[in-house]
Amino acid sequence: MLLIDQVKSTIRDVEGYPKPGIVFKDITPVLADPVLMKRIIQFFVRNYRDKKIDAVAAIEARGFILGSVLAHELACSFIPLRKAGKLPFNTRKQRYDLEYGTAELEIHTDAIKPGASVLVHDDLLATGGTACAAGHLIKSFGGELAGFSFLINLGFLPGARNLQEQFGLAPDFLIKY
């Protein structure tokens, strides 16, 4: 079975979560399948192994799961991008808009060296607000964006367009809905 088809058939749709009208893409069944997870990681590694990535910056919380393994496989640093107030050391923050308010993303102030090539990873791209905040944080340190990778792209929302407009980078993803 093609990887895309296998992942799509394994993702569980949860109607009305976290609020009515939303169909949540639950990747928990994907995480439970070690063979499928290995194939997913191999997909992303093939896309980035020749790009000399210095770090994978992954977005809390589900982005950590694949992002940390991807960093390991690419033999580079892993940088956690967290919700405000979750990191214990000195941080830099980036505020971004949500459909229901605002939020902040944080990174440690010593996480990125100027000129470092950083791949941003998360599980799902929707409007792109969080990913754009991550990109702005990386650029604020003088880091170079190597790309944006996602397991899922909700193509009916403007996330890919927003990343392209703000950073000139088309996101890399396995599944598009």
**pLDDT tens for residues 86-126?**
999 999 999 998 767 799 999 999 999 999 999 999 999 99
- The encoded tokens of residue 152 equal 């899922």
Of 99, 106, 161, 165, which residue is the catalytic one? 99
Of 12, 62, 73, 161, which residue is the catalytic one? 62
State residue 97's pLDDT score.
86
CA–CA gap between residue 131 and residue 127 (Å, rounded): 9
pTM above 0.85, yes or no: yes
CA–CA gap between residue 18 and residue 15 (Å, rounded): 9
- The beta strand positions in 35-100, using DSSP E, are 55-59, 77-83, 91-98
- The encoded tokens of residue 41 equal 């990681």
CA–CA gap between residue 26 and residue 93 (Å, rounded): 28
95 is catalytic: no
pLDDT in tens, the chain (177 residues): 899 999 999 999 999 998 899 899 999 999 999 999 999 999 999 999 999 999 999 999 999 999 999 999 999 999 999 999 999 999 999 999 876 779 999 999 999 999 999 999 999 999 999 999 999 999 999 999 999 999 999 999 999 999 999 999 999 999 999
- Rounded to the nearest 10 degrees, what angle do helices 34-48 and 3-10 cross at? 130
State residue 132's pLDDT score.
97
62 is catalytic: yes
State residue 41's pLDDT score.
97
CA–CA gap between residue 133 and residue 168 (Å, rounded): 15
Residue from 93, 131, 126, 127 nearest 109 by CA: 93
